[in-house]
Amino acid sequence: MMLRHIILATVLWVGLPAAFSWGWGDEVHKLINGHATDLTHPPLGDFLRQHRDRIVELSTDADDRKESDPDEDSRHYIDFEYYGGAPHSSIPYHRGEAEVLYNYDNMAQWGTLPWRIIDVTWALRDAMADADWEQVIILAADLGHYVADAHQPLHTTTNYDGQLTGNEGIHSMFEMHMVDKYRDHYRHPTPPLPVIESLPDSVFAWLFESYCDVESILAADSRAREGLSSQKKEVVAQGFQADAEDIPQDYLERLYLQAGMTSWYHTSKATVRLAALWLWAWDQAGQPSLP
């Protein structure tokens, strides 16, 4: 989407830390990849746990690639409104069919996250079948990144930073500043892992579920801003450009009261579903012996 690129170009121009990205903060990606590694059943889980540090470390590589690969950005989101809204049963699960219907260039603007998750899962399956275990580690970490992004509801909408509804800045407040403040509240998700019967059905259902929470996050933000001084509102609206120490704590407290459970729910679901996806890929690869 052009607007996203313009905003991105603007904020990059004024100078931001390298960690800046429209996506969960680095800590959330690391948390989800690490916890999913802990939850994966043996023997695959034993292998992944041997490489837990790398799987955690590589969890943010996909964001870093945006700087060098112009095609990377659109793999991290889907603007469902352009595809006809969500849930929308006529969105083709198959990327080729989707490209025929929507046009490749449009999709490059509207976002391709669900198809990216499906593609990386199949690539992971292939790497497992080929016993390319180095590649398995890289792809498992990458898959974790995209699955986590799919569980950030603001990655599923054109109104990704609340810019269409007077909620400018909510993207970073919800996914980074609120989570950073309440990091200790994010408990380790517990089994059982979900059963994946159909890869595309599952992936699209997860994204539709995320989309259903967009409105509640925006409403939580609106309520959290009520009564703030105009100076504090201005800081919140700066979003990623705001200095962490300037962000009004009373705003974050109120946001967490209303949207904390939503954040916790989606990060927990991302974790157990990621572990289930890794196991699904291994199963589809014919359950090869681990090194």
Does 29 bind Zn ion (CB under 5 A)? Our answer is: no
Query: Least distance to Zn ion from the beta carbon of 83, Å?
Result: 19
- CA dist 143 and 199 (Å) reads 13
Closer by beta carbon to Zn ion, 210 or else 235? 210
Does 23 bind Zn ion (CB under 5 A)? Our answer is: yes
User: Which span (7-15, 62-70, 189-197, 198-206) binds Zn ion, by CB under 5 A?
Assistant: 62-70
Closer by beta carbon to Zn ion, 142 or else 149? 149
Does 149 bind Zn ion (CB under 5 A)? Our answer is: yes
Q: Of 187-246, which residues contact Zn ion (CB under 5 A)?
A: none
Query: Least distance to Zn ion from the beta carbon of 4, Å?
Result: 13
Query: Least distance to Zn ion from the beta carbon of 112, Å?
Result: 12
Closer by beta carbon to Zn ion, 32 or else 173? 32
- CA dist 89 and 76 (Å) reads 21
Closer by beta carbon to Zn ion, 63 or else 161? 63
Query: Least distance to Zn ion from the beta carbon of 62, Å?
Result: 6
Residue closest to Zn ion (Cβ): 23
Binding-residue total with Zn ion (CB under 5 A): 4
Q: Of 93-112, which residues contact Zn ion (CB under 5 A)?
A: none
Binding site for Zn ion (CB under 5 A): 23, 63, 76, 149
